[in-house]
């Protein structure tokens, strides 16, 4: 479990925390270079790099063509020559066009050559915006199945800032998932020091409880906390674990919590089949099966593409009300 000794600043929007992390790391390390579509003069699709061109110049803030495979390939090559590239996908979904470069080149380069690949790929994803099937997916599990990649999915501005800076310093390729719905809605203090020099497995207990352990990440952590507050008024105490880092996974914290509460639910926005919740459930069964008083439950998006209609989309994303309902059912088993 994470023990934070950092100093904190005033509350900062999630989107601004990401921008601040990029700028601060670029000021600290001249080898950090940004790459992506329209990130220079335009500032990117979400304006995260607005003003960077003026401060850092066009050699460190580089526009790229609409060619994700080529962009990631160039970034891999430059990382092996001493550069620390940070690549922005306009939307996480578009990374599929660069999938081979990530899973067959970047992830395996160290095992083939003993050469590190300090590469970060930023992936704005998630639903809640009515953006349709090509702009709303949660695709973290595509990469969690691939050894050699680290995967981050912060729920709070403080973690977003700290973990992005750590990801840039890490000698391994890191997939950094940032949730679009949180960009201008989540606000919390930045954790400005100390910044670790690599991504390590970590989990955080955001709310202590005795009746059920929940595990979530990204936007779903916020919704799980809302559900836990509702259930507490009914005398049900939910222990809420957030996973800002999905790989490497801090499973020991999860197991310790489940051994205490004897029930577990994993809440994620990605689709159910093959989602990371299944892996976490398997690890709980491997290591804490005799502590369980009920089957491990997954509360997820159904196995369907995200619809464009906001109402239909909202009905699919786990809501606090649905989380409450399923946790109540779990207590009745």
Q: Report the phi/psi class of residue 312: left, alpha or beta, with left for phi > 0 and alpha for psi in -120 to 50.
A: alpha
Q: 192 — phi, psi (to 5°)?
A: -95, -15
In whole angstroms, how far apart are CA 268 and each of 61, 175, 301, 319?
34, 17, 7, 11
Q: Where are the alpha helices (DSSP H) in the chain?
A: 14-28, 52-56, 68-79, 99-100, 109-113, 140-144, 157-169, 219-232, 251-261, 276-288, 310-316, 320-332
- What is the CA 253 to chain-centroid distance, rounded? 18
Establish whether 135 is a catalytic residue: yes
Q: How much of the chain is in helix, strand and coil states, percent to nearest 5? A: 40, 20, 40
CB 256 within 8 A of CB 212: no
The full DSSP string for 1-69 is: ------EEEEEEEHHHHHHHHHHHHHHH-TTEEEEETT-SSS--TT-TTTTHHHHH-TTTEEE--S-HH
Q: Which of 42, 115, 135, 251 is catalytic?
A: 135
CB 213 within 8 A of CB 241: yes
CB 250 within 8 A of CB 213: no
Is the bond into 248 cis (omega within 30 degrees of 0)? yes
Quote the tokens at residue 140: 């973290």
CA distance 138 to 124: 9
Q: Where are the alpha helices (DSSP H) in 80-206?
A: 99-100, 109-113, 140-144, 157-169
Which residues form the catalytic set?
135
């Amino acid at each position: 479990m994470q023990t934070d000794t950092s100093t904190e600043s005033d509350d900062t929007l999630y989107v601004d925390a990401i921008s601040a992390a990029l700028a601060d790391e670029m000021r600290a390390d001249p080898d950090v270079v940004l790459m992506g579509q329209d990130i220079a003069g335009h500032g990117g699709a979400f304006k995260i790099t607005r003003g960077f061109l003026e401060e850092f110049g066009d050699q460190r803030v580089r526009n790229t063509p609409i060619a994700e495979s080529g962009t990631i390939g160039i970034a891999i090559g430059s990382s092996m020559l001493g550069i620390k590239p940070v690549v922005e996908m306009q939307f996480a979904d578009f990374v599929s066009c660069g999938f081979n470069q990530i899973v067959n080149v970047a992830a395996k380069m160290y095992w083939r050559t003993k050469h590190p690949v300090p590469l970060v790929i930023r992936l704005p994803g998630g639903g809640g915006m009515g953006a349709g099937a090509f702009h709303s997916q949660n695709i973290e599990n595509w990469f969690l199945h691939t050894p050699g990649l680290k995967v981050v999915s912060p729920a709070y501005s403080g973690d977003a800032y700290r973990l992005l800076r750590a990801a840039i310093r890490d000698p391994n390729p890191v997939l950094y998932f940032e949730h679009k719905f949180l960009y201008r809605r989540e606000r919390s203090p930045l954790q400005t020091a100390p910044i670790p020099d690599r991504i390590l497995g970590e989990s955080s207990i955001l709310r202590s409880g005795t009746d059920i352990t929940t595990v979530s990440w990204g936007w779903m952590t916020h919704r799980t906390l809302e559900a836990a507050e509702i259930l507490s008024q009914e005398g049900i105490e939910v222990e809420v674990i957030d996973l800002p880092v999905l790989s490497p996974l801090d499973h020991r914290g999860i197991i310790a919590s489940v051994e205490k509460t004897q029930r577990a639910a994993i809440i994620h926005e990605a689709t159910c089949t093959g989602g990371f919740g299944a892996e976490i459930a398997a690890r709980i069964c491997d290591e804490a099966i005799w502590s369980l008083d009920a089957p491990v439950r997954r509360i997820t998006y159904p196995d369907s593409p995200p619809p464009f209609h906001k109402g239909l989309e909202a009905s699919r994303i786990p809501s606090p009300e649905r989380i409450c309902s399923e946790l109540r059912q779990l207590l009745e088993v």
